[in-house]
Amino acid sequence: MLVDVDVTDRVAVARLANTRRRNALSTPLINELHRLADRNDISAFVLTGNGPFFCAGADVTELATNKQSTDEAPPPVTLFRRITEDSRPWLAALNGPALGGGCELALACDFILTTPDAYLRLPEATLGVIPRTAIKLLAGTVHRHLALSLLLGKTTVTSDLALASGIAAEAHPQDSIVGETTAFARRLLATTSPTAFRVIKESVARDDTLSWRDADELAGRVDRVELHDAVASLQRREAIDYSERWQ
């Protein structure tokens, strides 16, 4: 099992447990999260990670062999959309770094609670990949300068910045982050009308200035040669230099 799940009183705590790969979003792990979302005995979800990482993003091995067309939503994006469209609350308890797809997984959740040492980063642009979900979810959410810097991988969103920008709701120590996030979920369930939550979540999503179709179209502009070369460099643990490609 790549996701450890504990359900108590209809609140699921799901721990990404692929620690050998820093909880990377492999297809099997994503499928387990889909099966979790299929369950009708759960009213709220708390996502966190085992080990020092929340989630290190896409599985590089799968990325290197991915044959999908660039205008087709890959498995992680399908999961992110499902979370944003689910009528139930999803909460991310950031126990550690959330990188790339891991950052997008956290952003897809309705609330983010973080530890002081956790951070979010989007390095996709260094690989020639368009972080379509982050573009969609950050549209109209944070100041455009912060959004641009984050989407280009030039800004690391620390706990303090996440709180100041409204990306994170609360910060708690490492040893209590899951408990505090679970308590947050229980308070939400106890004090919020399910209908009100469902309608408000849907209306907030509709207020974004960028549609999922628009985000898919942007992702379809990926240069496959750049992507291939960047992933190959990453696997060799070498830095890639794009300087000449700007000419």
Count of all residues that appear for the chain in the document: 247
How far is the CA of 72 from the CAs of 60, 68, 129, 216, 217, in angstroms? 18, 7, 13, 7, 9
Handedness of CA 88, 171, 151, 51 (dihedral sign): negative
* Secondary structure class of 30 (helix, strand, coil): helix
Whether the Cβ atoms of residue 113 and residue 169 lie closer than 8 Å to each other: yes
- Annotated catalytic residue 104: yes
Residues with Cβ within 8 Å of 87's Cβ and at least 6 positions away in sequence, in order, are 194, 197, 198, 201, 202
- Annotated catalytic residue 124: yes
Residue type at position 88: R
- Please identify which of the residues 104, 170, 202, 217 carries the catalytic annotation: 104
CA–CA dist 190, 208 (Å, integer) = 28
C-alpha angle with apex 32: 112 to 94, nearest 5 degrees? 20
CA–CA dist 162, 160 (Å, integer) = 5
- Please identify which of the residues 124, 170, 180, 217 carries the catalytic annotation: 124
- Kindly list the catalytic residues: 104, 124
